[in-house]
Structure 1
């Protein structure tokens, strides 16, 4: 409990520091651009800066990384609440598994193997459709889809395991597991939102 509280406090302090850094950047950009009008520094309090701040607040967040983070949170919640993680732990510790636990592990292994085979067929055969025009894996459709596909696979494994193990007896329990993951990841999501906004602001002020 204390470790969890310390982590939450650390996230809170970090988010406050990011907000403070954003405010200092707004003020310093105005001071630098006023003191050195010939510099390439853009003022966030000028007409261009205000338009950028208001017009790009949502654009800055519209990135694949945020979608990946949300998908990871949802799949983590379903995987954790399904109980398959406990089955894997018991298997590694050579503990006796019940029939439902063995069946869930078998289905999880089958789904994982099937996903690997499909991805190999889509990337390793001649003229594979997930390769780039030049035949490379990075960048390609494969590199753009690997994180969402991994999250979807984890979501599928968690869902089937939860049904087999009896932890997901209704659609409500399944969706509750998704929201559990979002709750667990909420500090990271907040940190991402404030952090990416600061990064984009720095890029606008000094490098655009």
Structure 2
């Protein structure tokens, strides 16, 4: 059985890795030309997520992922501030948590390694149809079509596959925009070190800003 996965984000790569491990012929097509060229900061993997990944990837990949992570039980309770920096409260006690935070880029790169030569980068999907035998076929903006026994849409918010199946757009703007960035610890003042501490924090602003 040949499976084509459209989209090489975390979901598409995890599926591709799991299918390959179970002996399926799988191809994952991703428009990015570099798996490290991805947005996001970190992602929290709870016990269910870790258990699922253990079934999808080889033990050596899972060991490297766990070694890269940060255990939530080792950090302080999350903090919430208002826009003036006044402490509003704390999150739950994490001392018994089995969850870990991992870097999204690290996770994506390890999953890409698990998919191996089944990952095809720089491939932009333009549509989905059927070949002469009625099998699903993926069309590309620059390249020959690819047929498969099963096509899976893992191509995100503006999914070409989902739009094909639904016959039209499957989402609409929510009016929410997110920005993220990183600051090196050495660039923080002693006061910022003391205020931020080893934990996650969120500052709540006006009109839904945070």
Whose strand proportion is higher, 1 or 2?
2
Whose helix proportion is higher, 1 or 2?
1
Q: Tell me which structure has the larger Cα radius of gyration.
A: 1
Shared fold per TM-score greater than 0.5: no
